[in-house]
């Protein structure tokens, strides 16, 4: 079996690390195509190195444009690559522009598409990610869902039950595998001069927050207020740094501990040791749960509503700084229900076995 895996952004590299390892165990011929959506070395190259992902067979170098520009250029380049490779399957992850471009290219070439992390919905179509995931799901032949709720969403939308595999979350596979490595390496708070359980780890990167000056300002105000009580570590996404510069908000960073984007192992260590995680990332909401750390999600909605219901996550629309700060500080020491909605850590194996079975 030959599989073309299309990735382009940091969360996809993490998910691909465990699935690519499972492909190798089963002798599958996997060809990785990197679109270049994350073109910064700190957001891309470091992940392939430390997660031991096979180097891409093809790097398209497409990034830095608008959603439309990037997606259109990716479709053209991916179509050419797939025509040459002639894979049995195209595999995509999540909800990025790279995901949608690969889904469209594969469907036009009549190559079966498999979507890992299918069935997620925020029900906010103003989010580019929401459109990407809906369209990708409706192009796919195999839909790998991380939760029972995601499976039910697809059934409600009229998807064929035989095309859905509820495999659990490959991010749990990664958290278990790399969490053990982090413990061995001793990565975490001390490496950054912080005390375990004595700081807040924050990330901000979503367009709805970075490109709205009022929301971005409120988030930075809130984090700055928290920093008067607890240190706040903020690894700076390139988009966030650029928007802070354009909006002249650098003065709001004075109280924060800033770093460049960090590698995955470093972030896992910091997540495990944090008192609270404050983020607009979908992946970090789950990683907070995996490490049993309270999470504040700086968005109007989330795809991972089960974490809200169970008390592990609190949704805080970023409207004003004091509200954000109060929510973060109130989350310290607050834990949710004991539950296991994301499987048992064998999602990658289920993905590969399902693809092999469907190819026979």
Mean pLDDT for back-to-back runs of 10 residues, the chain (360 residues): 95 94 98 82 66 90 88 97 98 97 98 98 92 98 97 97 98 92 82 95 95 97 98 94 94 95 91 97 95 97 95 97 98 96 97 96
Say if residue 162 is in the same domain as residue 197: no
Say if residue 184 is in the same domain as residue 306: yes
pTM, to two decimals: 0.90
In a domain, 191, yes or no: yes
In a domain, 324, yes or no: yes
Q: Give residue 40's pLDDT.
A: 57
Number of domains in the chain: 2
In a domain, 350, yes or no: yes
237 close to 205: Cβ distance less than 8 angstroms: yes
Report residue 337: phi and psi, to 5°: -70, 155
176-184, Cβ contacts within 8 angstroms, sequence gap of 24 or more: 176/290, 176/345, 177/18, 178/17, 178/51, 178/264, 178/265, 178/268, 179/268, 179/272, 179/290, 179/291, 181/265, 182/265, 182/268, 182/269, 182/272
In a domain, 335, yes or no: no
Q: Give residue 44's pLDDT.
A: 58
Say if residue 200 is in the same domain as residue 323: yes
In a domain, 208, yes or no: yes
Say if residue 240 is in the same domain as residue 320: yes
CB proximity list for 180: less than 8 A, separation 6 or greater:
none
Report residue 295: phi and psi, to 5°: -130, 140
Say if residue 294 is in the same domain as residue 310: yes
In a domain, 185, yes or no: yes
Q: Which of 47, 7, 37 is nearest to 261 (CA)?
A: 47
Query: Alpha helices, DSSP H only, in the chain?
Result: 10-25, 45-50, 67-85, 97-108, 128-139, 148-156, 170-185, 207-210, 213-226, 238-246, 264-273, 282-290, 305-309, 321-330, 347-359
What are the catalytic residues? 205
Say if residue 117 is in the same domain as residue 240: no
Say if residue 190 is in the same domain as residue 319: yes
Which residues constitute the domain of residue 88?
Answer: 2-169+343-359
The enclosing domain of 301 has a CATH number of 3.40.50.2000
In a domain, 338, yes or no: no
In a domain, 337, yes or no: no
Say if residue 185 is in the same domain as residue 279: yes
Q: Give residue 20's pLDDT.
A: 96
Say if residue 82 is in the same domain as residue 181: no
Say if residue 152 is in the same domain as residue 24: yes
């Amino acid at each position: 079996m030959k599989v073309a895996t299309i990735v382009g952004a940091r969360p996809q590299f993490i998910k691909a690390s465990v699935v690519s390892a499972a492909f190798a165990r089963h002798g599958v011929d996997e060809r990785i195509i990197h679109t270049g959506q994350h073109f910064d070395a700190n957001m891309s190259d470091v992940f392939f190195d430390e997660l031991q992902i096979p180097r891409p067979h093809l790097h398209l170098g497409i990034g830095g444009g608008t959603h439309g520009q990037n997606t259109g250029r990716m479709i053209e380049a991916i179509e050419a690559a797939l025509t040459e490779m002639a894979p049995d399957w195209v595999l995509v992850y999540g909800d990025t522009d790279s995901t949608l471009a690969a889904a469209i290219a594969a469907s036009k070439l009549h190559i079966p598409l498999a979507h890992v992390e299918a069935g997620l919905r925020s029900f906010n179509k103003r989010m580019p990610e929401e459109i990407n995931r809906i369209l990708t799901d409706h192009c796919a032949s195999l839909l790998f869902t991380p939760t029972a709720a995601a499976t039910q969403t697809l059934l409600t939308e009229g998807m064929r039950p035989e095309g859905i595999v509820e495999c659990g979350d490959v991010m749990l596979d990664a958290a278990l595998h790399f969490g053990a490595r982090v413990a061995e390496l001793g990565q975490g708070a001390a490496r950054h001069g912080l005390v375990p359980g004595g700081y807040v780890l924050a990330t901000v990167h979503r367009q709805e927050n970075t490109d709205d000056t009022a929301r971005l300002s409120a988030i930075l105000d809130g984090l700055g207020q928290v920093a008067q009580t607890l240190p706040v570590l903020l690894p700076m996404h390139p988009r966030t740094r650029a928007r802070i510069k354009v909006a002249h908000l650098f003065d709001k960073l004075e109280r924060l501990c800033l770093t460049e984007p960090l590698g995955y192992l470093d972030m896992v260590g910091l997540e495990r040791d944090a008192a609270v995680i404050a983020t607009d990332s979908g992946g970090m909401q789950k990683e907070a749960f995996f490490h049993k750390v309270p999470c504040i999600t700086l968005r109007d909605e989330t795809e991972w509503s089960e974490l809200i219901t169970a008390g592990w996550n609190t949704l805080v629309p970023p409207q004003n700084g004091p509200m954000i700060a109060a929510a973060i500080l109130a989350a310290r020491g607050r834990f949710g229900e004991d539950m296991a909605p994301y499987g048992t850590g064998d999602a990658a194996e289920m993905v590969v076995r399902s693809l092999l079975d469907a190819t026979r």
